[in-house]
Amino acid sequence: MPADFISSLFVFILAAFLGFELIKRVSPLLHTPLMSLTNALDAIVVVAAIIIAGRHETKLSTLLGLIAVVASFSNMVGGFLITDRMLHMFRSAKAKKS
């Protein structure tokens, strides 16, 4: 098995366990914003899309990369925007009075 695969596997296992621990602590109140936020973070795939498109190896790979840039960057922008809007709505009774 390639060494790159093994090191990626290490990173994956650690990140997955860390993810479990972090997400278990998220209040059920915020499960919808959690999903939109993780979607926006996952849109970091856009960096790979930029590289594939920017390397300009073949016409096809460039085209696929560019479509991927559109799909993932729209997710990044839209995901952060809606998470932000949702979280603005969550206010406690105390905060509302003041």
Report 51-70 residues binding other proteins (CB under 8 A).
51-58, 60-62, 64-70
CB 49 within 8 A of CB 69: yes
Report residue 61 as tokens: 């790979």
**Coil, strand or helix: which one is 95?**
helix
Which helix (H) or strand (E) segment is 11 a member of? helix 3-24
Q: Which of residues 2-31 bind other proteins (CB under 8 A)?
A: 2, 4-5, 7-9, 11-12, 15-16, 18-20, 22-31
Is 20 within 8 Å of 50 (Cβ atoms)?
A: no
CB of 2 to other proteins, least distance (A): 6
Q: How far is the CB of 85 from other proteins (least distance, A)?
A: 7
- When asked if residue 98 is in the footprint of other proteins (CB under 8 A), the reply is no
